[in-house]
Amino acid sequence: MESAGLRRRQREQKQPPEPPLPRTNKENKRAAPPSNPSTHHNSDNTPLPRSLTTGYTPPLFTIDLSQPPHHRYDHVAHAFQPALASINFESLFTEAASLLLPPAITTGPAAWLLPPTTHLLRTLSRLLLRRLHSAEETAELRGIARETGLALDLLVAFNVGLDLLMGCTSGGVRMQGDSSSSSASGGSESKIVHFRTLDWDMDSLRALVVELEFVKFPGGPVVARTVGYFGYVGVLTGVRRGLSLGLNFRAGPQEEAGGGWGKRWKLGWHLGMVLMGWRRGVASVLREYLLGDGAARKKKTGTGYVELDGGDGELPGIDDILEDLAHSPSTAAYLIFCTPSRVYSVEKGYRTASVRSSGQFLATCNHDVADEPDPGRIHAAAQNVASRGMAEIIDESFERKQAVEEVWKQRVQLRRKSRPRGGEGVDAVNLDDVLQMLGHEYITYGGTHFAVVMDPEHGEMLWRRVYRTDDLRE
């Protein structure tokens, strides 16, 4: 495992542009992170991982959903102009497109085809990528394009292709209800919190990481929060009261990759429909679960529906979400949901959804659980991915999962020892323990763009960090 961790930390990449400076006005005021990096130790005197003493808190902006969609992000666009001016999005498109092409074209004997192929894809992008499935999201992108000068098709490509290129470590863990306490209270005081890192090769996009809080009207209560990239209007990581959610990359499942031309054609057709804006992408569906969408498909009314704070719309509860995912067409992905009482991990295929859940702890990286008894299957899945960086992330996925599970077990044992003699309670860790899990060198490393801890009970971001290229590299 040591070689895997060292290999990740030793990648050599360029320093990305600086992000917007955190604002000092009322909109950007926030509580200080629960752990104090200046101490370099947790409350139980264990050393803080390097990832907790470096990086920065992402800039925070409020998105007013009562505003016309094409003006919602105007103030965010103005703040990000310096960072956007430093990024060559045409080159990023070429880089991203090459990551999705077969290895034979990118590095193999047909490498001479790479320049004309990426040029053809760029031409087709200008002609065909004009909208997303949601009219509301398309209007938001048009407004961003107007304010930033970015080509609309590049923003569309960014929104429909990002989930195919990122690695993640995500999951849920039972934590003591009082995040500031280091004692093992357990019992009814505990709750599930959602931890998550996002790893990606494209370092220049680190400067676009942003935290958004959504309100239904000016000055209204916050109904949801997300951490993602400016210009990306879907949801990769988000939380509202009662539910948190996240998206991990999944290589094409074996039954679909090897299921004959019929299944491959259906999957390819679905991808084409998403690219053309005729079907929703996975991140758009997650946005619907988080925020709702008046133009979204109708769902069955059930007891799982919950009310938005201060709003009159209805959003699906976890039972409705799992039922919807079981039958809806989708690209392959790992979807992680947390409620205050349980964590759910969904291995989503084209029209399949395998669900695991736990009331204590569950971690998901970038491999199928069924492949864990035979790591060779994980390695084979990695070899089928065109991106060398993503192949490495998948190949090391099981090691990452084992690492975070081992840290969790160690911290649980520590909390058990701290209970009063004869005391009983649920195995619940504290926030410092969760940060120790995230801070493991195999979990948060040189390729990590950001890490967060979310609280679905209160709909809050408990902790978040963004990392520059050199923050975690030695």
Res 183 pLDDT > 70: no
Instruction: Encode pLDDT of 412-431 as tens digits.
Output: 999 988 876 655 567 899 99
Q: What is the pLDDT of residue 303?
A: 40
pLDDT band at 3 (very low <50, low <70, confident <90, very high): very low
Q: What is the pLDDT of residue 271?
A: 78
Q: What is the pLDDT of residue 423?
A: 53
Classify residue 52 by its DSSP letter.
Answer: G
Mean pLDDT of the chain: 82
Tokens standing for residue 155: 């923003």
pLDDT band at 55 (very low <50, low <70, confident <90, very high): very high
d(CA 21, CA 126): 33
Residue where the block lists tokens 């736990």: 358
Res 41 pLDDT > 70: no
Res 32 pLDDT > 60: no
Q: What is the pLDDT of residue 383?
A: 77
Contact yes or no for 175/190 (Cβ under 8 A): yes
Classify residue 252 by its DSSP letter.
Answer: P
Contact yes or no for 191/453 (Cβ under 8 A): no
The more confident residue out of 14 and 310 is 14
d(CA 78, CA 189): 43
The more confident residue out of 120 and 456 is 456
Tokens standing for residue 62: 């409020």
pTM of the predicted model as reported, rounded to 2 decimal places: 0.85
Burial 194-222 (b: 16+ CB within 10 A, else e): bbbbbbbbbbbbbbbbbbbbbbbeeebeb
* Over residues 220-239, mean pLDDT: 97
Instruction: Encode pLDDT of 359-375 as tens digits.
Output: 999 999 999 999 999 98
Q: What is the pLDDT of residue 45?
A: 63
The full 3-state SS of 159-220, as one line of letters, equals: HHHHHHCCEEEEEEEEECCCCCCCCCCCHHHCEEEEEEEEECCCHHHHHHEEEEEEECCCCC
Q: What is the pLDDT of residue 302?
A: 43
The more confident residue out of 331 and 257 is 331
pLDDT band at 184 (very low <50, low <70, confident <90, very high): very low
Tokens standing for residue 250: 């999944």
Res 7 pLDDT > 60: no
Res 181 pLDDT > 50: no
Considering Cα of 223, then 227, then 233, then 235, what sign does the dihedral take? negative
